[in-house]
Amino acid sequence: MRLIRSRSLRAAASALSLLLALPACAKAPQPSQAQANDADPALWVVKDKDTTIYLFGTIHVLRPGLTWFDEAVKAAFDRSNELVLETVLPAPDQMADLVKAVGLAAPGTPPLSERIPADRRAAFDAAVVATGAPPGAFDRFKPWLAATQLSIGPVGKLGYETVNAPEAVLTAAAKSAGKPVLGLETPQQQLGYFGALSDGAQMALLTETLDEMPKVGETIGRMVDDWAKGRPDALADEMNDSLKASPEIARSLLLDRNRRWAEWVTARMQKPGTVFIAVGAGHLAGQGSLQALLAQRGLKVRRVRY
């Protein structure tokens, strides 16, 4: 993940696959007529004489009723020998242990409700209670973990869930077809990107999340619409706006990861086969995108039109 109209959190959306293992969103309502329609998200391909790699941008939560796993996307997946995601998650209890190890403040750290700026404390306390947790339940959380946890509730109440998202659908399809599912990163690495952020960056992430939570419905609606209509640049603008204002977050959660992934793709092109890579859509548009980095390495990336 990326889902609240916080500039920093939209950048963090590119790493939100870790949230698949955190507490589930609220039960989704029946899909609206607007959601029960066809979607044609963007798809790219890079290939040589014996290797083909598809690049598919995902959005990490969706409502039910949006039909996207068909046409060119399904055909590309069916032709592929393996599925590659940002990460392959362990069992929920194992993931919870990893989150605790990285996301909880050291003993003796003042409660988060006391460290947050005074003018945000009332909003923070209200947001915590709105999740169904008692007051003070997030006091041992590091700010980044509080921000991501608080982002889940409003999204879930609007009917968006990870079980409907491309990662879950593609993983189920791969397992059904006997295709291996690989990760570009480990869960520990993904969590580590958040944990390595400075205290200032983490607190900015949390306060901006609180400020923008009332706009979540409007923002995620635009994001899903851009994704469904194959508008990667507009979607990346929405997700990665913090590139201009938060270079630390941009570097850690987006740009450095894209560079490592470009190295992975370049190396994988040396082996024959067909690979379907699905990563957050924010990685596949804008400055420093995965495609741009591959082009710098002499690989031609073409968008699949359908």
Of residues 214 and 240, more confidently modeled: 214
Note the pLDDT of residue 127: 95
For 201, phi then psi, to 5°, come to -65, -40
Convert 193-206 to b/e letters by CB count within 10 Å (16 or more is b): bbbebeeebbbbbb
pLDDT band (50, 70, 90) for residue 33: very low
User: 154: which 2 tokens?
Assistant: 């409003």
Burial category of 30 from C-beta neighbours within 10 Å (exposed 0-12, middle 13-18, buried 19 and up): exposed
Q: What is the pLDDT of residues 281-305, one digit of tens each?
A: 999 998 899 999 999 999 999 999 9
Q: Average pLDDT for residues 136-164, to the nearest whole number?
A: 92
pLDDT band (50, 70, 90) for residue 237: confident
Note the pLDDT of residue 239: 76
Note the pLDDT of residue 291: 98
Residues near 210 by Cβ (< 8 Å), separated by ≥ 6? 120, 123, 124, 127, 150
pLDDT band (50, 70, 90) for residue 245: low
User: 205: which 2 tokens?
Assistant: 């992430």
Q: What is the pTM for the complete model shown?
A: 0.88
Look at residues 283, 291, 156, 288 and name the one whose alpha carbon lies nearest to residue 213: 156
pLDDT band (50, 70, 90) for residue 174: very high
Q: What is the pLDDT of residues 34-85, one digit of tens each?
A: 445 899 999 999 999 999 999 999 999 999 999 999 999 999 999 999 999 9
Per-domain residue ranges for the chain?
7-24+33-100+151-203+216-303
Q: Average pLDDT for residues 128-139, to the nearest whole number?
A: 94
Mean pLDDT, the chain, rounded, equals: 88
pLDDT band (50, 70, 90) for residue 3: very low
Q: Which helix (H) or strand (E) holds 55?
A: strand 51-58
